[in-house]
Amino acid sequence: MDLTDRPRRLRRDGVRELVSETSLEANDLVAPVFVDATTDERVAIPSMPGHERVPLDESVARVEEVLDTGVETVMLFGIPESKDAEGSRAWAEDGVVQEATRRITSETAATVVTDVCLCEYTDHGHCGLVEQDAAENPDLTVRNDETLDLLRKIAVSHAEAGADVVAPSGMMDGMVGAIREALDDAGFRDVPIMSYAAKYESAFYGPFRDAADGAPAFGDRRHYQMDPANAREAIREVALDVEQGADLLMVKPALSYLDVVSSVDRNFDLPVAAYNVSGEYAMLHAASDRGWLDLEATALESLLSIKRAGADVIVTYFAEDVAAKL
Ligand code: PBG
């Protein structure tokens, strides 16, 4: 045998580590945290094992647990004490996320990213203002431009509370430009926008919608979130957000959309984030509970694949478990 190319030489212990192309670090990971204004004790989220909704009074303690693992950034989601058609608790100065942000930024060293959206705050569960007859109309649309005015208020209220980064996730056209303008006008020129630039209408969000109580009461989100069939369109969506002033570009979900993560990474020179969503977390847990998969190994491999595809930042429910092992 006269083989000249022997890739296996580089797979020997000691050499393999030296030449590995991708590495995971705790400070690339963002841990989602749910703060719930309707409870005064921690409530487990059954479809997301290990995760809980915590009351405001536990928000600092919860973030300290995250920091103890080496993860430095949290993404806050709020469950408000009440909901209405407009989602007015989303921009309230004493809202659950605003109050949690104030406490966490003043009492810990965590970097706080806030979710700028309406679906947890509206009584109909959509990510914006809906047409009057929406419930009877399966083809309903969220009123885009009226919703932008609300998103401006939400983003400014988060910045006023001390948010380090705001992350609009509602897939409204023009949302990044509107939020950028509102933040600048309010004196928050230095608060970056992590835009959910390519967010798909995915069935993998199921467990999150239980966790954050944000499932639409009627219809679905296909008129504003992207069609899972489309990859080229993601480039158009992302380009619009870049033009409007996005600082970080998010693709969501992650694992079923690694082609999109990779093309966003190759086509744009801004940092790329990927959201390893609730369904992607839940399915590994479910399989490992049955003894079908090794949880730790598959979680690590999943996150590594997301980095390999081109993500600089990963939002993941595995953040703490994986960081603690790194
Ligand atoms: C909406 C939002 C959603 C998620 C994050 N932000 C839900 C949705 O679009 O229905 C999903 C996250 C996950 O599944 O982990 N503001």
pTM: 0.95
pLDDT at 99: 98
- Residue 210: pLDDT band with limits 50, 70, 90: confident
Q: Where are the beta strands (DSSP E) in the chain?
A: 29-36, 43-44, 52-54, 73-79, 111-116, 165-168, 194-199, 248-252, 272-276, 313-316
Q: Give Cα 50 to chain centroid, integer Å.
A: 18
Question: Which of 63-72, 124-133, 178-187 shows the lowest per-residue confidence on average (mean pLDDT)?
Answer: 124-133
Protein residues whose CB sits closer than 6 Å to any atom of ligand 1: 115, 117, 119, 169, 205, 208-209, 214, 277-278
Asked whether the beta carbons of 251 and 197 are under 8 A apart, the reply is yes
pLDDT at 89: 97
Give mean pLDDT, residues 78-105.
96
pLDDT at 58: 97
Residue nearest to atom 11 of ligand 1 (CA): 205
pLDDT at 140: 67
Domain 23-325, CATH? 3.20.20.70
- How far is it, in rounded angstroms, from Cα 257 to Cα 277? 11
pLDDT at 170: 92
- How far is it, in rounded angstroms, from Cα 312 to Cα 272? 5
Render pLDDT for 153-173 as a digit per residue (tens, 0 to 9): 999 999 999 999 999 999 999
228: number of Cβ within 10 Å:
15
Residue 99 Cα, ligand 1 centroid: separation in angstroms? Answer: 21
Residue nearest to atom 9 of ligand 1 (CA): 205
Domain ranges of the chain: 23-325
Q: Give Cα 53 to chain centroid, integer Å.
A: 16
- How far is it, in rounded angstroms, from Cα 176 to Cα 172? 9
Is 199 a known active-site residue? Answer: yes
**Cα 93 to Cα 117, 129, 206, 266, distances in angstroms:** 16, 20, 29, 40
Closest CA to 62 of 33, 40, 102, 41: 33
pLDDT at 295: 98
- Residue 125: pLDDT band with limits 50, 70, 90: confident
- How far is it, in rounded angstroms, from Cα 171 to Cα 169? 6
**Cα 204 to Cα 78, 187, 208, 293, distances in angstroms:** 20, 37, 9, 19
Asked whether the beta carbons of 86 and 119 are under 8 A apart, the reply is no
Asked whether the beta carbons of 273 and 194 are under 8 A apart, the reply is yes
Give mean pLDDT, residues 79-106.
96
Q: Of residues 83, 153, 252, 307, which has the active-site annotation?
A: 252
Q: Which long-range CB contacts under 8 A does 12-17 form with residues at least 24 apart?
A: none
- Mean pLDDT for the chain overall: 95
- State what percent of residues in the chain have pLDDT above 90: 87
Render pLDDT for 256-268 as a digit per residue (tens, 0 to 9): 999 999 999 999 9
Render pLDDT for 270-318 as a digit per residue (tens, 0 to 9): 999 999 999 999 999 999 999 999 999 999 999 999 999 999 999 999 9
pLDDT at 134: 66
Residue 209 Cα, ligand 1 centroid: separation in angstroms? Answer: 7
- Residue 46: pLDDT band with limits 50, 70, 90: very high
Enter the DSSP assignment of 227.
P
Q: Report whether pLDDT(53) > 70.
A: yes
Q: Which of 205, 210, 226, 277, when mutated, tests ligand 1's pocket best, judged by the most ligand atoms within 8 Å of its CB?
A: 205
